[in-house]
Amino acid sequence: MRRILLLTLASLTIAAPSAHAADPRIAPGVAAGGIDVSNLTLTEATNKIAFLAKQGMNSPLSTRVAGRRFLVRTNELGFSFSASKSARRAYNAGVAPHTGPVNVPLYVTFKKAKVEAYADKVAKGVYVAPRDARVDIKLTKIAKVEHRDGRSIDKTALVTLVSTTLGDPAAVRKLQIEPVAVKPKITTGSLGKAYNTIVTIDRGNFKLRLFKNLKLSKTYGVAVGAPGYSTPTGRYSIQNKAVNPAWTAPDSPWAGAYRNEVVPGGSSENPLKARWMGIVNGVGIHGTGAPGSIGSRASHGCIRMTVPDVVDLYPRVPVGTPVLIGN
């Protein structure tokens, strides 16, 4: 009988540490997500964390930017919170070597892809495309149309902010971020460089105007297309250039004996005198052997200039220069 009693007492003595080990206590000075769990058992810590953190962890989150508010619920982000794993994390931190108080983050999980999708939604909601500066080309003047900055957000920063907030039950869930300016490719200040040279041809007044850095630089007299051979109107550009170009006569009655022939550059029979600046469909700017025609409708569609004027203009106008032809 005495032997049985001793065995029973021995059994209880051995079993006691097992019961204690099943629900150990967290070390002093340990907190989880700012919640003090010092000296609590894992069960006690789990209950305390669940009670104090649950409401904050499940609260919806909103982001305000540029006067708009974007709400998202935690379940839409794949959010999950475990009080028991948070308590276990606190216990493990207390067991590990440390000095001073320890505050471990709560155990939360969420889908990063869903947080990124939320950031995309916010970004799209506030995005304003930038507007390039441009020029409004008129026959007699060039007007600037100012650029406008666009608006966006730093999506990476928002993802980080949302991720941090989700793990903190005490964090304010009303986020606020500042928009980011999006610069256009062409600013107002760069227009002069982008449109260094512009040519306009005023058919009604027989004037060719050369603009440099958006300001009128020089005006020349010209001849334009005769009735039936009207100089085309519209927005074009200088396509090609040549000095003393050869003339390929068109298959047209007005070409006379030179019809379909190539007339060498510099010859007296060649109507393209001195310089050529091609614009569109065989129409271009060139010198003329009939300076008296300047100021009239006399050509077969081209813009005629006196030889001294076309020689003067030629080096000032690079290929690609915008050309506006109008009345």
Instruction: Spell 41-62 as b/e; 16+ CB within 10 A means b.
Output: bbeebbebbbebbeebbeeebe
Length, in residues, of the chain: 327
Which residues participate in catalysis according to the annotation? 286, 302
Q: φ and ψ at 324, to 5 degrees?
A: -110, 125
CA distance 296 to 206: 7
Please check whether residue 42 is in contact with residue 75, taking contact to mean a CB–CB distance below 8 angstroms.
no
As a whole number of Å, the CA-based R_g of the chain is 41
Q: Say which residue the tokens 């099943």 belong to.
A: 22
DSSP letter at 163?
Answer: H
DSSP letter at 11?
Answer: H
CA distance 294 to 224: 8
Which stretches of 39-190 are assigned E, i.e. beta strand? 61-65, 68-72, 80-82, 102-104, 107-109, 134-137, 142-145, 150-152, 174-176, 180-182
State the CB neighbour count (10 A cutoff) for residue 163.
Answer: 15
Which of 37, 39, 73, 78 is CA-nearest to residue 58?
A: 73
- Give one word for 166, left, alpha or beta, with left for phi > 0 and alpha for psi -120 to 50: alpha
Helix (H/G/I), strand (E/B), else coil: 80: strand
Q: What Å distances lie between residue 141 and 58, 171, 252, CA to CA? A: 63, 59, 37
Q: Which two tokens stand for residue 171?
A: 């964090």
Q: Which two tokens stand for residue 284?
A: 């271009």
- Alpha carbon of residue 266 to chain centroid: 52
